[in-house]
Amino acid sequence: MDLQLVLLPFGYASSTQATELVNMASSGRDSEVEELLHERLDPDITYSRGETALFAASRKGRASTVKLLLEAKASTDKVSERNRLGTALNVACFAGHAGVTQLLLEARAEVEKVPGHGELPLNLACFKGSAEVVRHLLGAKADKDACGQQGFTPLLEACSRGNVSVVRLLLESRANVDKVCCSDDVSYGETPLYVAARSGYIEVVRLLLQAGADTEKICGMQGVTAVDMARRKSRMQTWFLLLEASARQNQLAGSCLKLMRSFLSTLLSGWRAKRL
């Protein structure tokens, strides 16, 4: 006898049931969530605040509840209508819930921005300094150089907060060390080094210099270098570190220029000898 798969539609859910499901998910009451799901309740149903059960569970870091909802085919990319963070992945990244983030990524949650809503997950994690979350997102091939809503790249977000471990992870993944802050095609001209120097995050500055950050790049609305900004803000340790790095970069540039001049002089001498 041939068996035929029949897909049953989700049952009708009242606003009370929707509220119960979201509240239970938020509280991590797995047995009650499972009971409602067995009644064919749509896991993506929203209640008055426009949040789904998956969004609520992700926000609270309820990994076991998230797993239940994903097994019930809850949508990972459904956008919350009222929460500015947008998706379950975004809210998990912002809250620093590494376990939940991993579950959502394994369920193929979108790591790039959902059109019209929310911030980039990687940018949120870098802003909050969640190194383990950042590691998961980088492993899922999140764009390490993408500009978020405010024009900041993930590296700029991490540098603006002095998140050393996150900066290190991004640099190890070859993030663009000199990419400037930009939004709506308008560049603010602030590089990660400039941002870190302004706040005096000396360990971050040291990491950026080791990665080859340009100390002479003109940045910001004031049109100054990271070296100048550190001096203006009286970040003396950072200023001395940048001065040393700038001197080394200039010395290297000077040496290269001397070699080039010597090479050109040799070529010119040879050309003149042939003419004679």
pTM, rounded to two decimals: 0.82
**Per-residue model confidence as pLDDT tens digits over 4-21:** 433 344 555 567 888 899
Q: What would the mean pLDDT of 156-176 be, rounded to a whole number?
A: 97
Q: Which of 74-78, 89-93, 256-260 has the lowest mean pLDDT?
A: 256-260
Q: Which of 18-27, 35-44, 60-69 has the lowest mean pLDDT?
A: 35-44
Mean pLDDT value across the chain = 84
Residue 41: its pLDDT value, please? Answer: 84
pLDDT at 39 over 90: no
Residue 247: its pLDDT value, please? Answer: 78
pLDDT at 3 over 70: no
Compare 251 and 140 and report the one with higher pLDDT: 140
pLDDT at 33 over 80: yes
Question: What residues have CB less than 8 Å from 166, skipping those under 6 apart?
Answer: 125, 126, 129, 130, 131, 134, 158
Residue 8: its pLDDT value, please? Answer: 44
**Per-residue model confidence as pLDDT tens digits over 41-66:** 889 888 767 789 999 999 999 999 99
* 120-123: long-range contacts, CB 8 A cutoff, minimum separation 24: 120/146, 120/148, 120/154, 121/87, 121/89, 121/90, 121/93, 122/93, 122/146, 122/154, 123/148, 123/152, 123/153, 123/154, 123/157
pLDDT at 144 over 50: yes
**Domains of the chain, earliest start first:** 10-125 (1.25.40.20), 144-248 (1.25.40.20)
**Per-residue model confidence as pLDDT tens digits over 212-235:** 999 989 887 778 999 999 999 999
